[in-house]
Chains A and B, each alone.
Chain A
């Protein structure tokens, strides 16, 4: 019964969303306050209904109700509870329901907490949000319905399990965060469309949009980092980024969203770059939709594409085209009417933000090209593969000048600035950068230039960011206490990126790998550690059988850690997964994988991955910065009272 309530709730949510996309829009156009006020409760009602529906599906998973086709196809009674719950979104139908839930979550949040928004803007933005929701609810209900039932007499006694690769805590939480990010940008999109319809984008608009964009950005950062972390420890190759089309699909909205955050700053502070910001908001959500299309249509064949159904692909493609073409047409029509705001010199805070935007956009375009080109070529029967070499030689060099500018930009003042004083404040940082690069050059043998550039950039960015912080606060506690949280946020986020860049340099360039057959008692060395294979045994897990190797890692004879990598076979799915054993240290990760038996030994892969933890820590610092900025007091301005002056001027009713 609960499943059926969930099904009905989802259908009712569609009806509410249709009303929500029409009534407030018409109301805002006609100036009818009652109709506009319909938007907020409707968005809350929609969130409630989709929430009920999601809870119902989760209930079906938790109780292993195999009369629900989606549960029978993706769950199993033997699965641990955590993966029964994460199984809800570990499949196409459920993940689309999660998508719709998050769409409703952002709409509902604006409905609940958006009291400081002008009613017209709020009504229009929520109506646009509801239009997107209508599209996706139709998609879920008519092409990917998770509530489809199995006739009572055909209900199987057990389910078909879940891809064992997906039975992992990292992956259990990767999709929700990624979706919170992806879908969160829908709010910026809705505000942009609302502003285009209203015909005004101003400083106030930028301030109202910013927190929603910032929240989405934080979630997306966490989501991407989790995905990368999962690939790193689960796929068993020690790699963390493959420029895989699906990874690119999440990276493109992140790049565009980061650019959007920075250009919205110019709108807020200086009333400039308005059309560009609105355009970026559209592009960012458009890229999120494109990502959904690429992953969900099965156009790409990869672990992620568990839906390979052409009708679904066509549906999402249509949705994508309508959304992007419609919003860009609206932009072409209304965009030019937006008057450019404050003027600025090329050398200024705005100038550096524009420069950052320019490089980020070119970077996004590069990734987009690299992702779509093989698909287009395939459509014309050419086989082209665009891999890491393309991205490393095109995207990475684009980011170098951007990072250099990031070190200087925050030191420049708005409107017009002098480069020289800023550079004078950075001479010490520049010296440190050169020193660090030289030190790297002495210590590292291979990839000399890239290593020096990578570490140099990290030191430069960290130094520049700290120099700006020290210059602003002069390290006095009182000044620090008065520093707005958004400024703290910027400092932290930029520092986080510096840490992450150091991590990427180490992990990407200095990795050491050994593949060998080891017998019990043998010792192999890597990265200055000696690893002894103490033994291999098998042990049963809850729903798998594992072969476990036990390694003792020693450094100069002292025991450092015992590593126990496993190779698991999941009998229900008949598929193996490898569970790498990883020991993280400040200097890097010791990483061991056990493979198949060979002769009287086992195939073993050992890695020394320097600085890898820095990447995750860097991402966490970035997210902490974003979150701190989100709590800035300027986003908590209350709703205005009715101005007395105007009230007096109105005729008595």
Chain B
């Protein structure tokens, strides 16, 4: 830090040393403006002589051109009286002192406000010194069954001390990633029964999704109940609405399903990555029912929610965003350290959730593994790394 201030000081002195001397110097009166003009005009007359020599202009034309330039030189003489360049400098010293005082101060204060002088740089080369398991070399093939074994150990541990909803969630997501959907649903249920409030409803949505997938896509009564709770707790979440619309379609209420799908689209946000799935579903339902989706208007509620979603700019619960956005950073900068850690955990959780929906996302798993390393959660990091090795093996 001291060296930063020294560098900043040296830079300032250097620049002042560069710009101030002319103000302190007493200069002999230099050439006048007219002299500068004359130099150019003389050169132009020489040009005409050269052109004449080479026969590019006739003698007559050359004379006319010369007269013209001479006229300009005469006009110059009329104007040059009291030309500013005649005048002398004054007040230079006062100005120099003023600049030397005000400029560094202004720059320094502005920098204190805008800069981060206490923060060191973090070039990637320095940070790589921290040990990181290599995932690029593909890993040991024996590690893949290791994942299964580890999962079993985790399941065993959870059965022995079941009062840890986070542990159940981890287990559930691990099962999901291994496409063991029934096991995942069971683990989600364990977590779900041990949570309350909004957390319970959010996990309930995932629980329901696992049930639906385990059931080959059929949205049963159990799942529907969970999804309705989820929708009530977060009316803008697309997942419960989407599966409930599916349920309606499965039960033959195509018009109702189409209405609900149109509502999801109205709630938005526009351009969300999952919107494609919604559009496809709309197309399918419209085709089956023969209803033109253009004739179905979204409900008032959906429009109101859509406005809310558009205005709140809340992160899409399903979307994949590869890293923190500028806005996240700005918010993070204004938080206490505890809040910041909480926010990071939130983002990591979000990533984990997204990966469970999209378990083949290798880059995502790498990010998750790194994030857990940074947070010091070795166990979770190792799980993610095992996952990466598995994906690499599959390829």
Q: Which A residues fall within an 8 A CB radius of B?
A: 1-5, 7-9, 11-12, 14-16, 19, 23, 28-35, 37-38, 40-42, 44-45, 48-49, 52, 60, 63-69, 72-73, 77, 116-121, 141, 145, 147-160, 200, 202-204, 207-208, 270-271, 342, 413-415, 472, 479, 482, 484, 571-572, 574, 634, 637-643, 646-647, 650
Contact = CB atoms under 8 A, between A and B. Distances in A.
B27 A67 contact: no
Interface in B65-111: 65, 68-69, 72, 79, 83-92, 95, 99, 103-104, 106-107, 110-111
Contact of B87 (A33, A77, A472, A646): A33
Nearest to B110: A11
22 contacts: A1-B3, A4-B116, A4-B117, A5-B4, A8-B11, A11-B114, A12-B103, A15-B107, A15-B110, A31-B84, A31-B87, A32-B92, A34-B89, A118-B37, A121-B33, A154-B344, A207-B40, A208-B40, A415-B61, A638-B39, A640-B38, A647-B29
Contact of A65 (B83, B84, B122, B370): B122
B84 A35 contact: no
A40 B3 CA distance: 31
Interface of B: 3-4, 7-8, 11-12, 15, 18-19, 21-23, 25-27, 29-41, 43-44, 47, 50, 54, 56-57, 61, 64-65, 68-69, 72, 79, 83-92, 95, 99, 103-104, 106-107, 110-111, 114-117, 119-125, 127, 322-324, 326, 329, 332-333, 337, 340-341, 344, 362-363, 367, 370-371, 374
B323 A72 contact: yes
A572 B329 contact: no
B32 A413 contact: no
Given A12-B104, A413-B57, A643-B34, 4 more contacts: A19-B99, A42-B19, A65-B123, A204-B41
Nearest to A12: B107
Given A35-B89, A44-B18, A153 B337 contact: yes
Contacts of A73: 323, 326
B368 to A, nearest CB: 11
B90 A1 contact: no
Contacts of B12: 12
Contacts of B61: 413-415
B363 to A, nearest CB: 5
B332 A151 contact: yes
A44 B19 CA distance: 8
Q: Across chains A and B, which 4 residue pairs bring their CB atoms closest together, nearest first?
A: A34-B89, A31-B87, A63-B123, A31-B84
Nearest to B92: A34
B84 A34 contact: no
Contacts of B322: 160, 572
Contacts of A1: 3-4, 7, 120-121
B11 A12 contact: yes
B36 A204 contact: yes
Given A150-B329, A414-B65, A11 B111 contact: yes
A63 B363 contact: no
A503 B270 CA distance: 43
Nearest to A32: B89
B74 to A, nearest CB: 13
A643 B32 CA distance: 8
Given A38-B19, A472-B56, A153 B340 contact: yes
Contact of A571 (B85, B95, B114, B362): B362
B122 A66 contact: yes
A1 B153 CA distance: 47
B23 to A, nearest CB: 5
Contacts of A69: 326, 329
B36 A117 contact: yes
A14 B108 CA distance: 12
A160 B323 contact: yes
A202 B35 contact: no
B337 to A, nearest CB: 7
Contacts of A641: 31, 35
A634 B95 CA distance: 37
A574 B323 CA distance: 13
Contact of A15 (B18, B65, B95, B103): B103
Contacts of A23: 95, 99
Given A154-B332, A202-B37, A415-B64, A77 B117 contact: no
B11 A5 contact: yes
A572 B370 CA distance: 15
B31 A639 contact: yes
Nearest to A5: B7
A615 B35 CA distance: 45
A557 to B, nearest CB: 42
Contacts of B121: 1-3, 60, 63, 65, 67-68
Given A32-B88, A119-B85, A415-B64, A157 B374 contact: yes
Contacts of B30: 33, 119, 642
A258 B370 CA distance: 55
Contacts of B35: 640-643, 646
B54 A203 contact: no
Contacts of B87: 30-33
Contacts of B65: 414
Among B84, B117, B367, which residue has the most Cβ atoms of chain A within 10 A? B84
Nearest to A7: B115
A517 B280 CA distance: 27
B29 A33 contact: yes
A151 B333 contact: yes
Given A19-B99, A31-B85, A64 B15 contact: no
Contacts of A42: 19
Contacts of A145: 114
Contact of B33 (A52, A60, A118, A571): A118
A63 B23 contact: no
Contacts of B341: 153
Among B18, B111, B115, which residue has the most Cβ atoms of chain A within 10 A? B115
Contacts of A154: 324, 329, 332, 340, 344
Nearest to B103: A15
Contacts of A117: 36
Nearest to A120: B84
Given A120-B33, A204-B37, A12 B15 contact: yes
A41 B21 contact: yes
Given A8-B107, A149-B116, A203-B40, A33 B27 contact: yes
A45 B31 contact: no
Nearest to A60: B121
A65 to B, nearest CB: 5
Contacts of B119: 4, 67, 149, 151-152
A263 B120 CA distance: 54
Nearest to A270: B68
Nearest to A268: B44
A30 B15 CA distance: 26
Contact of A342 (B26, B68, B92): B68
Given A33-B30, A48-B15, A16 B43 contact: no
Nearest to B330: A148
B391 to A, nearest CB: 12
A574 to B, nearest CB: 8
A123 to B, nearest CB: 9
A638 to B, nearest CB: 8
Given A11-B111, A415-B64, A637 B40 contact: yes
Nearest to B93: A34
Contacts of A482: 50, 54
Contact of A572 (B33, B79, B363): B363
Among B23, B65, B90, which residue has the most Cβ atoms of chain A within 10 A? B23
B41 A34 contact: no
A550 B110 CA distance: 58
Nearest to A44: B18
Contact of B43 (A153, A415, A637): A637
A640 B35 CA distance: 6
A118 B79 CA distance: 15
A637 B87 CA distance: 25
Contacts of B68: 270-271, 342
